[in-house]
Structure 1
Amino acid sequence: MDISGIPLRAVRAALFTAVVVTLSTASHVLLSQVPLPLNTVAAVAAAVFTLAYALAGRERGFGRIAALLIPLELAADTVFTTGQHLCYGPAGGPVAGPLRSVGWDVLCGNRHDVATPLARMTGTNADRLAPLLAHADPATAWLLLAAHIGVGLLAAAWLR
C-alpha cells in the first residue's frame, strides 16, 4: 500500500498536527497556568504540519522517530514558554510599557489567547506561582527534561 499519496499525506499530517498541538498546548497551559498567545500556537502548528507532511512519505523506525520527536517537543516547549514570557511577562500578567511600544501587542494579540479558560480553571495566581518558581529545587529542571524525553519516547512508540 502506497502511503505517500499527496491527499493522504496532507490528511495524515493535519491529523497528527491537530493531536500533537492540542495535547502540547493543553499540557503547557495546565502546568504553567498561563494562556498561550494564538500567534505562538499557530507558528508551532505550522512547523509541526510542515515537518509531518515532509516526513509522511515512508515508514520509519522507532529510533528515527524518537530522534526527531524529542528535540521537536523540546523546541515547541521553548517556543511556548518564550511566547508566554514575551506576551505576559514572567509573572503571568500582560506585558505593558516599552514592549507594547515596539509592537509586541500586535504579535501577542491579547484578544486571541489560546486556552484562557483552561488557565483560569487551574486557579491562576501570580502571587502563588512566582515564589514557587523562584524557590524551585535544581532537580526540577532535570525532572521536567526527563518527563519531556519520556513523553517523546511514548509518542515515538505510538507512531511506530
Structure 2
Amino acid sequence: MDISGIQLRAVRAAVFTAVVVTLSAASHVLLSRVPLPLTTVAAIAAAVFAVAFALAGRERGFGRIAALLIPLELAADTVFTTGQHVCYGSAGGPVAGPLRAVGLDVLCGGGSVGTPLSRVTGGAPDHAGVLIARADPAAAWLLLGAHLAVGLLAA
C-alpha cells in the first residue's frame, strides 16, 4: 500500500491536526485560564494541516520530527498567547475603540474557544487581561520546559 497517496496524506494530516490542535488549545486554555479566539485556533489548525500534509509523504526519524515539532509547538503557543492579548486586552475584556475600526473585530469577533474550560480552572473572560498581565516570570520557564518535554515525547 502506498502511504504517500494524496487521499491518505490528507486523512493523516487531518487526524494529526485535529489531535494536535485540540490538545494544544485545551492545554493552553487550562494553563492560562483564558479562552482562545476562534480565528486564532483556526489559523493554527490551517498551518498545522499544511505542514502535516506537506510532510506526510514519507517516514521520518525521531531527530527530524523533534527538530520540527518543538519549534512549531512554541510558535503555536506564541500565536495563541498573542491572540489572547490582542482580543482580550490588558483591561480584561474585549478590545474596544479605534482598533475596532481597523478591523480587529474580524480577528476577534468569531467567538472564543475554551470558555467553559477556562471557567473550570477559575478563570473567566471578564478578567482575562488581568490573568495575562500578572503572569509569574518562573511560569514562562516552566512552560518552556513543559513544551520541550511534550515535544520530545510526541516525537
TM over 0.5: yes
The aligned residue for residue 80 of structure 2 is 80
CA RMSD, 1 decimal: 1.8
* Pairing 1:39-50 to 2, within 5 Å after superposition: 39-50=39-50
2: CA distance between counterparts of 1:99 and 1:130?
20
Separation of aligned partners in 2, 1:13 and 1:51: 8
Give CA deviations for 1:9-33 in whole Å, capped at 9, x if unaligned.
Answer: 1000000000000000000111111
Give the CA deviation at 1:143. 1.7
Question: If the length of structure 1 is used for normalisation, what is the TM-score?
Answer: 0.87
Matches within 5 A, 1:132-143: 132-133=134-135, 136=136, 138-143=137-142
Is this contact kept in 2: 1:38–1:114, CA < 8 A?
A: yes
Aligned match of 2:112: 113
Give the match for residue 66 of structure 1. Answer: 66
Q: Does 1:152 align with 2:146?
A: no
Is the contact made by 1:40 and 1:83 (CA closer than 8 Å) also made in structure 2?
Answer: yes
Deviation at 1:94, TM superposition (A): 1.2
The count of corresponding residues between Structure 1 and Structure 2 is 152
Matches within 5 A, 1:92-107: 92-107=92-107
CA–CA distance in structure 2, aligned partners of residues 43 and 132 of structure 1: 27
CA shift digits 1:54-112 (9 cap, x unpaired): 00000000000000000000000000011111111135421122222221112111x52
Q: Which residue of 2 aligns with 1:12?
A: 12
Of 76-85 and 114-123, deviating more is 114-123
Q: Retained in 1: the 8 A contact 2:90–2:133?
A: no
- State the Cα deviation string for residues 125-159 of structure 1 (Å, max 9, x = none): 539736742xx2x4332221111100100110xxx
Structure 1, gaps ≥5 residues long:
none
Contact 1:3 1:9 in 2 (8 A): yes
- Provide TM-score, normalisation by structure 2: 0.90
Contact 1:85/1:92 (CA < 8 Å) preserved in 2?
A: no
Is the Cα contact below 8 Å between 1:16 and 1:52 reproduced in 2?
yes
Q: Which amino acid aligns with 2:102?
A: V
Check 1:44–1:130 CA distance in 2 against 1; reply closer, same or farther (3 A cut): closer
Structure 2 residue runs of 5 or longer lacking an equivalent are: none
> Is 1:53 aligned to residue 53 of structure 2?
yes
Match of 1:21 in 2: 21
